Chain A
Amino acid sequence: MLMVVFVPASRWLTIALALILCCQLGIAQDDDAKAWFQQGNDALRKSNATDAVRDFQEYVRLRPASAEGYFNLGLALQSAGQLDKSLTALRKAASLQPGLHGVQMFTGIVNYKLNHLSAAHDDLVSETRLEPKNADGWMWLGVVELAQNHAEAAAASLDKAATLGPNNLDILYHRARAHLLISKASYAAMFKIDPDSWRVHEVLGQADAEAFRTEDAISEFRRALRTAPHEPGLNEELGDACWTAGNMEDADHAYSEEIKIDAANAVALYKLGSLRVTRDDAAGGIPLLERALALDLSISDAHYYLGKGEAALGKDDLAIEHFRLATNSQGTEELRIMSWYQLATLYRNLHRTQEAGEALAAFRKMKTARDQRRESKLQDQTRRRDQLPRQETIPATADLP
């Protein structure tokens, strides 16, 4: 079962609710009861669960019909780790006022902590009906469903939570996990049905490629293609792996095959086109890149390779036009930086000194920013590493003559 620590976000929620309930005590109370209630809230705020329990117990002794009192007592008992008593108090609060804001959610959380998953589930379903816009409610429901191994239900609940709380790290974490479990189950089912299917090999190839096990990826994609030689996408993936491994001929062949199968695959056209330009075959690459752009204008990186290609063919004006387009904000940062450099080179060779200077300045500015980010990242890594205990062995050294 997935155990979840009562995270700080929930604690603050508790305090907030206690404060709200404090404000909801609009009816006149005698001074003693009021003081116990206030004291209990103060203790909760200071995370002093023991005192909070005592204070709220005194309060409900004086005010036995107060749903709010039992609710806060339940929260205090939960904080003190007295889960059974907490559950009792929360249920009392719910019986006194079934629609009390938050009571279902916290009852569900305590039940979850007591491993009463079925009861927890019922409580949290009630909560989400009562408070359909409460992201935390949906999150907790998802957490319980994960604990019950109901990954798909959990994914639905957590998707809902994420819609309501898109910046909540806890929600995002649990949601990712739920979807991961669904994926794993799906892949396991795939394997069970047909362990040698092309889909299985494709997935393994993708995993290998992402883990930079390029030769293994190539092998898996080739296996997939043996079974499904006309399946769109497989040759493209093979081409990617071959290129990463530096097997340019094979990459070229793979992309070409992909385009035969799927002539409208703009990405494959772009990749083959850029590969050919890189391999000094501008005449072969340019038409492919133009076709890619005609199909999908968003592949603005194609302009970089078109620029390279046109420059290689001596068509400097066209090259400049393409490099200019490649410097727009849609493209990959690396290619935008390189485009500025290509422009600087072209302008310099054309004796357009001012434009060369401007392009070079833009290149250097972007490059410096990128290098500084990289350096910063390395320094962060070093700082984190330095915080770890380690042992260094220094070889015998000597003074310089």
Chain B
Amino acid sequence: MKSSEFDFHFMLQEKLMHGASFRIATAGRTTSAMLSIAVVLTAMLSAQTPSGVADPAVQQQATSHAGMATGGVHQAEFDKEHRPITAGGFIKTGPVIFLNTAEEAGLTTWHHTAGTPEKHFILEANGAGIALLDYDNDGWLDIYLVNGTTYDALDGKVTPPHAALFHNNHDGTFTDVAAKAGVTNDRWGYGVVVGDYDNDGWPDLYVTNYGKNRLYHNNHDGTFTDVAEKAGIALGTWSTGATFGDYDGDGRLDLFVAGYLEYDIKQPPLSGSKAVHYSSCQFRGVPVMCGPQGIRGELDHLFHNNGDGTFTDVSEKLGVSNPDRYYGLGALFVDVNNDGKPDLVVADDSTPNYLYINKGNGRFEDQSYASGFALNGDGREMANMGIAAGDYENNGHMDLVTTTFSDDYKVVFQNDGTGNFNDVSYKVGVAAPTIPFVGFGDGFLDFDNDGWKDLLLVDGHTYPEVDKQAWGTSYAQRPLLFHNLQNGKFELMPAVEGTGLAVVTVARGAAFGDLFNNGKIDVVINSVDHVPVLLRNVNPDRHHWVELKLIGGSKSPRDAVGATVYLTAGGIRQRGDVLSGGSYLSSNDFRVHFGLGDVATVDQVEIHWPSGAVEKLKLSAVDRILTVEEGKE
């Protein structure tokens, strides 16, 4: 802008009309002088210190509270090629940890679909989860991928997109047998969780949908039957994250299902419609799809397993129904205070998280705020999506990590051992690099088998519109792998071009497990409108490992969900749990994996079974998968 060509008077007028005001500097001090009605309103909304100056930190956050964003505006980050750091920042050479082998594995015959590519509505943007399970009990993990659908498919005009059940062929490849197995779902799918709810030794699947959910009972012959209605857990609202856990210790898996939004597909939330506040349909001032803020949340549900194929909704009775209508996403039964009883954590989008402590006798106590888990370290709600649970310090305490939105850091909640949590995100080195990313699926994994749990987050934005802005973020994003430095901190592993960490997709669900039975933890990712990503672990370490497949006894769930294993080797006592659910709407390998570093023997394994029994074992060998049955050494 050349001053000589510039009409100062009109420029000022234009700036005034756009809500400008003028601060008059006098000898280094600043005061506010209101010069237009718009300015008066702006100033009334701004945070002011007593000296009359806006506090920039608080002002930064004042731009939030729209759509999914809860943080303030952060600096745009670009790499040397001026790509947003979320889809760039690659290096040419470096450690090759993962390779995307989805195509070789045969997974790319399947494609996730949800609504339209433009993502006009939140229903289309949240993506779906993934489960790793050995559905045919052949000792090899299979993959279940949840699919969305389209409006035309719901209308019956076209064949709906199907979910996929990829059978592991034991040779590095997989075959989709969903149709044959009867698990195509053919609804607007979101989450999936694995659990042997009837203790028959065969894993079952619970699939959450917008609409009625599915309980796929495993028929033991490669097929499943949907018994959700009969079981009383079909619901019919918008369900998201689910988790199985035996909360009352009766040996049978109960089920918790998080609810997201009250959403009427016939009257979707359009900007300007009655369904939503108009301010919830913008991000950084740019119009985007509406919600979740401004839309009423759904209730959560806890179903008690009656042992006869049916469940009873005990949500209200036990105080876990979510009467505040927070937007539930990731959910997980996990023992956070080491009392042997599974507690319940729920990652809520743009609202406080839930932590319900299991008090025994079928009671829960809401300790969300008191524990420090509800909010981040600043006392602020975040857009929480996925939950990772793991003992990253090898101190026996179950820590939690939630993924959040862009312009916000991903939160590492360090457990003090009593079920109280401190936000140590910056302290451990996870916060800063994660700010530009929108995180979804996450999990702890010991990718290099050194005995210390590392952390992987998968990412992808919700607004395609960000690709048109220079905000340093992108719609499709790369995953982030944080290596545990064994001193309470993590370091971000570089994304080497051509490797799995440089794969850029709109990632959502992520499930972790040893797909190739080689002791290395792989990751499968379900991305929006995309083929799956299979991050095969090819890390060149030669560290030892062991995996334990647990089978519960008569008083524990048969698949041992809720069991905690402590393994001592090389002076380190590691903890692993059998957990159903977690990550983002996903379910991981139930086998408990331990990296052993260079140590070739295990000093001791101590298993805390859900029944309350504690068993101590010696392992005969390492670098193998061992099956341990409760009460039978």
Q: What is A's interface to B at a CB cutoff of 8 Å?
A: 176, 179-180, 183-184, 187-188, 190-192, 195-196, 200, 202-204, 206-208, 210-212, 232-234, 236-237, 239-240, 243-248, 251, 258, 261-262, 264-268, 270-271, 274-275, 278, 280, 296, 298-301, 330-335, 337-338, 340-342, 345, 348-349, 356-357, 360, 363-364, 367, 374, 378-379, 381-382, 385-386, 390, 392-401
Contact = CB atoms under 8 A, between A and B. Distances in A.
Contact of A401 (B19, B55, B187, B422): B187
B571 interface: no
22 contacts: A176-B35, A176-B36, A184-B12, A187-B8, A196-B3, A203-B22, A207-B22, A233-B26, A244-B56, A245-B75, A246-B75, A246-B76, A258-B28, A299-B50, A332-B47, A334-B47, A360-B369, A392-B270, A394-B267, A397-B265, A400-B210, A400-B265
B73 interface: yes
A275 B380 CA distance: 18
Given A211-B18, A398-B151, A200 B75 contact: no
A243 B57 contact: yes
Contact of B22 (A195, A206, A397): A206
Contact of A267 (B51, B57, B277, B285): B51
Contacts of A251: 56
Contacts of B606: none
A385 B28 contact: no
B614 interface: no
Interface string B258-282: 0000000111101011100111000
A206 B268 contact: no
Contacts of A394: 266-268, 270
Given A237-B25, A258-B28, A266 B51 contact: yes
B53 interface: yes
Nearest to A214: B73
Contacts of A333: 47
A285 to B, nearest CB: 12
B468 interface: no
Contact of B151 (A270, A278, A397): A397
Contacts of A207: 12, 15-16, 20-22
Interface stretch (B130-138, B200-208, B371-379, B485-493): B371-379
B80 interface: no
Contacts of B11: 204
A357 B369 CA distance: 10
B136 to A, nearest CB: 28
A243 B372 contact: no
Contacts of B37: 176
B42 interface: yes
Nearest to B11: A204
B379 A338 contact: yes
B603 interface: no
A267 B25 CA distance: 12
Interface string B148-164: 00011011100000000
A274 B34 CA distance: 27
A332 B8 contact: no
A181 to B, nearest CB: 10
Contact of A232 (B4, B27, B270): B27
Contacts of A349: 416, 420, 422
Given A207-B12, A210-B19, A401 B30 contact: no
B50 A268 contact: no
A244 B60 contact: yes
Contacts of B59: 244
Contacts of B151: 395-398
A248 to B, nearest CB: 7
Nearest to B77: A246
A298 B51 contact: yes
A265 to B, nearest CB: 4
Contacts of B73: 244-246
A234 B25 CA distance: 8
Interface of B: 3-4, 6, 8-9, 11-13, 15-16, 18-23, 25-30, 34-37, 39, 42, 47-51, 53-61, 63, 65, 72-76, 120, 151-152, 154-156, 186-188, 210-212, 236, 265-268, 270, 272-274, 277-279, 285, 294, 369-370, 372, 375, 377-380, 416, 420, 422, 426
Contact of A332 (B9, B16, B48): B48
Contacts of A266: 51
Given A246-B75, A335-B55, A191 B23 contact: no
Instruction: Indicate the member of B6, B28, B29, B426 with the most A CB atoms within 10 Å.
Output: B28
Contacts of A261: 28
A377 B369 CA distance: 26
Contact of A398 (B12, B30, B53, B154): B154
B28 A233 contact: yes
A331 B50 CA distance: 7
Contact of B39 (A210, A264, A271, A337): A210
A272 to B, nearest CB: 11
Contacts of A374: 65
Nearest to A249: B75
B40 to A, nearest CB: 8
A233 B25 CA distance: 6
A173 to B, nearest CB: 9
A191 B379 contact: no
Contacts of B15: 204, 207-208, 211
Nearest to B370: A360
B206 to A, nearest CB: 18
B279 A356 contact: no
B25 A188 contact: no
A246 B34 contact: no
A296 B379 contact: no
A109 B598 CA distance: 96
A211 B372 contact: no
A264 B51 CA distance: 14
Instruction: Indicate the member of A207, A265, A332 with the most B CB atoms within 10 Å.
Output: A207
Given A280-B426, A401-B187, 19 more contacts: A179-B35, A200-B8, A206-B20, A207-B21, A208-B20, A210-B22, A211-B18, A244-B56, A267-B29, A267-B30, A274-B57, A298-B51, A332-B49, A345-B372, A367-B379, A378-B294, A392-B272, A400-B154, A400-B211
B28 A262 contact: yes
The 3 closest A-B pairs by CB, nearest first: A341-B379, A246-B75, A191-B8
Contacts of A268: 28
